[in-house]
Structure 1
Amino acid sequence: MRLRARLSTTAAGLTAVLALTTGLSGCMTVHGEEAIVPALTTEEAQAALDHYVEVYNEAKPANDAELNATIETGGLGAVNGATLDAKAGAIADAEEQGDEQIIQQITEAYGPESFRPLELSDVQYHIPEQAGWPKFFVADASSNLAESRWLLVFTRDALDEDWRVSYLAQVPGAQLPELADEENGALVDIPATGGEGDDLVVPPGELSAAYAEYLSSNGPGEAGEFAEGRYTSDALASRAESNSSAAFRTEFIDEAAEGEEFAPVAMRTADGGALVFFTTQHGSKQTVAEGESPAEVLQLDPAALALMDGDAQRAVTWERIATQVAYVPAGEGQVQILSQIRGATAIAGE
């Protein structure tokens, strides 16, 4: 990954201070012909969602990244897997210290006591008809963990694989655009390659690079593709503010996410635009002033310290992954990023 080379250091994962698909390729042949068929039945989609919730409620409180990897993939899986590793590492370090008070504090923060089981209701399934692999479908549900709707994108690469969630977005129902359906009710998907999204302001396959370029340029480009908001203009303002302190300086690197596991997922909206899930990669290096302590100045939490590769004498380098869902209009207009999940997948001290 270019990001690793440019930032020069890597480490095992965690989330951003614990703040806590795809282009269709290939074809399936039936009697010598390509078959465009539903990704799965509604009953199968319900079974996949039920399995996800069941394992979610087992893996998360146990901080079991290996188990979590059986139900999540892509950027979401990388971020959440790193989160669980970070929490487990913090608890293990506390137990090694043997201080009962610290153990209790860390366990309450990162252990089963802090976990609230997930419940989903009022579920709507959006299932496209597709040829070949990979395939995907979307579950749109009400969650007990947030007022926003949860949009879960399930994907798999072969018939003998389990469905796993590659994207999760939390969006208020009022902000969700209506999705387009075929005459038979099937979701209208947009392959990431092949030119079917060329009528959009930004084609799905180019959205990751466009967003990374927007952030890197410290403002919208000549085309002004992105609307102002929390994940665009506000994010840039927050970066500028972070560098207003004399105690430390932050350098940022933003890049498109490359690799099939980070492929975008796009679907038509009723107005001709698209709802696009996509992934980006972000690096930051925080260097503290002479005589300052990175752990104190940067307020590193126990999970970050537990998983840090190297000793933070002057600087801390983070590698992060962000998954977003955006409304992309056709013809004219600006991309609106509706939701983002962002977390660190590596941290190193130097």
Structure 2
Amino acid sequence: MRLRGRLATTTAGLVVSLAMAAGLSGCMTVHGEEAVVPAATQDEAEAALEHYVDVNNEAKRDYDAEQNDEIEAGPLGAIDEAGLTARAAEQPNGDPDFEPLELTDTQFHIPQQAGWPKFFVADTKPRGYQNRWLMVFTRNSIDEDWRVSYLATLPAERVPEFAQDDDGYLEDIPLGGRAGSDLAVAPDEVGAAYADYLQGGEGRFSEGRFTTEVLDEREEANSSPAYQVQFQDAPAEEEDYAPVAMRTGDGGALVFFTMHHDERQTLAPGQHFNLNAQVEALLEGTPTQSLTLHRLAVETATVAEGDGPVDILSEVAGLITAEGE
């Protein structure tokens, strides 16, 4: 029987009223391919989030990757699919200690957009968690269900203020063209800039957990004579992993983007790998000399206007596959 998660919502300052939606109906196409229209109504956004909670509480409890595909897509879907598959191999009867997800104090940030894909953001607080969640719901056509592609976990004080257009809707930043040209880094180039930073240590990125600390950890990883570690980073180029960007109140942007982080471990003679169950579940080949870990990461960053910094706020990462040689 379906577990029904509880969902409490509050209206945001950019509520999509039914009256406004009706007022726009005379100038919109049926499927929204051409007209600039709200990506969703308030009711649709609330229903999508409630559906997410319901299915999430079944899929995560049972470690059911196929069911999780109903509510997640893009990079977050790929991360959780691999994670659930690995956990199911270790615990085929599901999670005996599972606690249902409950969301409170939810605000929706909905842009006006033309064409597809479309998105909206749910800013919410999971009960029992300290951080807030920013959940990016996306869909590629009117026939698709809303699914979550990006997730950021942030302390409340680090959630940026979102800019609104003249009608009170979230101001999104379309990719390509001149959109975002006033920013320190264009939204669709943040991933490449971050990869360059991780490989060379140079760029516009602020010091912090996902920048300078990562470089320090990688240097320390190669301090042991027992093995050598090589790191490779690249922005995801898959269409389903396209960045999502929106304007913040200070004139900058909040950008969700996807990275591939690969790690190749090569052992010194006489050494052996000690693998955990989740790595073994995703492993191809036998790691006698080397092990390559392929990780996917959902990154969230603020990008300043002009010549300011890029600040990585959140990372949600997971092992996707592993290869042994």
TM-score (norm 2): 0.88
In the alignment, what sits opposite 1:82?
82
1:254 lines up with 2:237 in the alignment: no
Shift of 1:301: 1.2
**What SS is found at the alignment partner of 1:323?**
strand
Equivalent residue number for residue 35 of structure 1: 35
Answer whether contact 2:263 2:294 (CA < 8 A) is retained: yes
User: Which one-letter code corresponds to 1:339 in the other structure?
Assistant: S
Compared CA separation, residues 32 and 116, structure 1 to 2 (3 A): closer
Quick check: 301-310 or 283-292, which moved more? Answer: 301-310
- 1:146, distance to aligned residue in structure 2 (A): 2.1
Number of residue equivalences:
298
How high is the TM-score relative to the length of structure 1? 0.82
Cα contact 2:233–2:262 (8 A) shared by 1: yes
SS at match of 2:284: coil
Q: CA deviation at 1:40?
A: 0.9
CA distance in 2, matches of 1:46, 1:115: 24
Give 2:183's aligned residue: 200
Aligned partner of 1:63 in structure 2 is: 63
1:151–1:170: 8 Å Cα contact kept in structure 2?
Answer: yes
- Which structure is higher in RCO with an 8 Å CA cutoff and minimum separation 6? 1
Deviation of 1:33 (Å) = 9.4
What is the SS of the residue equivalent to 2:189? Answer: helix
Which residue number corresponds to residue 51 of structure 2? 51
What is aligned with 1:14? none
What secondary structure, in the 3-state scheme, does the structure 2 residue paired with 1:190 have?
A: coil
Structure 2 CA distance for aligned equivalents of residues 40 and 72 of structure 1:
18
* Cα distance between partner residues in 1 of 2:32 and 2:174: 23
2: CA distance, partners of 1:204 / 1:74:
17
Secondary structure class of the residue paired with 1:113: coil
User: 2:278: which partner in 1?
Assistant: 303
Q: Please give the secondary structure, in 1, of the residue aligned with 2:321.
A: strand
User: Residue 128 of structure 1 aligns with which residue?
Assistant: 111
The equivalent residue for 2:164 is 181
Distance 1:32 1:151, change over 3 A: closer
Unmatched runs of 5 consecutive residues or more in structure 2 = 1-27
Separation in structure 2 between the aligned mates of residue 32 and residue 262 of structure 1, nearest angstrom = 22
Counterparts of 1:31 and 1:157, CA distance in 2: 11
Structure 2: which amino acid aligns with 1:155? T
Q: Which amino acid aligns with 1:173?
A: A
Q: Give the deviation of 1:114 after TM superposition.
A: 3.2
Structure 1: 5+ residue runs without aligned partners? Answer: 1-27, 93-106
Indicate the residue corresponding to 2:223 in structure 1: 244
Alignment of 1:192-341 (within 5 A): 192-217=175-200, 219-220=201-202, 224-295=203-274, 300-341=275-316
- Aligned equivalent of 2:21: none
How far, CA to CA, are the matches of 1:145 and 1:153 in structure 2? 21
CA distance in 2 between counterparts of 1:163 and 1:77 reads 13
Which deviates further from its counterpart, 75-84 or 300-309? 300-309
Q: Over aligned residues, Cα RMSD in angstroms? A: 1.7
Q: Which amino acid aligns with 1:67?
A: Q
Taking a change above 3 Å as real, the CA distance of residues 33 and 242 of structure 1, as seen in their structure-2 partners, is closer
State the shift of 1:310 in Å: 1.2
- Once the two structures are superposed, residues 150-208 of structure 1 have per-residue CA deviations (whole angstroms, 9 ceiling, x without a partner) of 00000000001000000000011101211001232100000111221011001001011
Higher helix content, 1 or 2: 1
Q: Secondary structure at the match of 2:249?
A: coil
Measured at CA, do residues 137 and 32 of structure 1 come closer, stay the same or move farther in structure 2, by a change above 3 Å?
Answer: closer
Work out the CA distance in 2 between the residues paired with 1:143 and 1:30: 35
Q: What is the CA deviation profile of residues 123-163 of structure 1, one whole-angstrom value per residue up to 9, with x for unaligned ones?
A: 00000000111100000001125211100000000001000
Percent identity between the two aligned chains: 53
Kept after mapping to 2: 8 A contact 1:326/1:338? yes
Cα distance in 1 for partners of 2:109, 2:62 equals: 31
Counterpart residue type for residue 286 of structure 1 = Q
| Contact 1:39/1:136 (<8 A) preserved | yes
Alignment match, 1:163:
146
Query: Contact 1:118–1:145 (CA<8 Å) still a contact in 2?
Result: no
Residue deviations 1:28-53 (CA, integer Å, cap 9, x gap): 74699931100010011000000001
Are 1:342 and 2:317 an aligned pair?
yes
